[in-house]
Amino acid sequence: MNKENSKLIEKTISSLDWDSICSAGKIFKFGVGEGVTAIPGMKKKNYTEEISKNEYKAELKTLLKYVVDNDISEFTYGPWVIFWFNSEWDLDIIEDEEEEDEEVQIGSSIEVIYSPQRICLANVIGKSDYKIEESDFDRLENMLKKAIDSENYELASKIRDVIKVHNPEHKDKKDI
């Protein structure tokens, strides 16, 4: 890693509000190194009251080095969202509108977002074009039987509705 990128990482780390990050980590009971990707050098520590600012800083520093070294433009790890723009990627020269002779170059940039809670939902619009396989119906019927046996009638009703929606002739075979 070159010297400029190291400085950029250090500036990024020193610019964050670590008291807020530690508070959010305690509220949401975040440990360190709890992402789903294996990162070389990442030390995992489950949540305890003793997790310090330095441990959160070390986690972010490891992530930033990983992102920069591997030239990953967008990266999510646990509560961290990182955007990396390497100035070497953009080889086009942007010219200033006022003075066409003067060239403007944009340097590398890192954006870090600490997002302790987020959700992503997708809404399927329109009629589904896929068909449920017969083995899926068998699984749904088994789930339906278990729901009825455990007297969870709300769940049983929902499962029955799914079966009816995806296979209307199935309701004629068995009266559920």
Task: State the average pLDDT over residues 55-75.
Answer: 92
Q: Are residues 71 and 143 in the same domain?
A: no
Q: Are residues 105 and 162 in the same domain?
A: no
pTM: 0.59
CA distances from 29 to 36, 95, 97, 118, 138 (A): 17, 48, 50, 15, 39
* Number of domains making up the chain: 2
In a domain, 110, yes or no: yes
Highest average pLDDT, of 19-23, 94-98, 134-138, comes from: 19-23
Q: Are residues 142 and 102 in the same domain?
A: no
How does pLDDT run across 107-121, given as a tens digit for each residue?
A: 788 999 998 877 766
d(CA 76, CA 121): 17
Q: Are residues 61 and 7 in the same domain?
A: yes
Its domain, for residue 140, covers 134-173
In a domain, 165, yes or no: yes
How does pLDDT run across 159-172, given as a tens digit for each residue?
A: 888 888 776 665 55
How does pLDDT run across 80-129, given as a tens digit for each residue?
A: 999 998 877 765 544 444 455 556 566 788 999 998 877 766 666 665 55
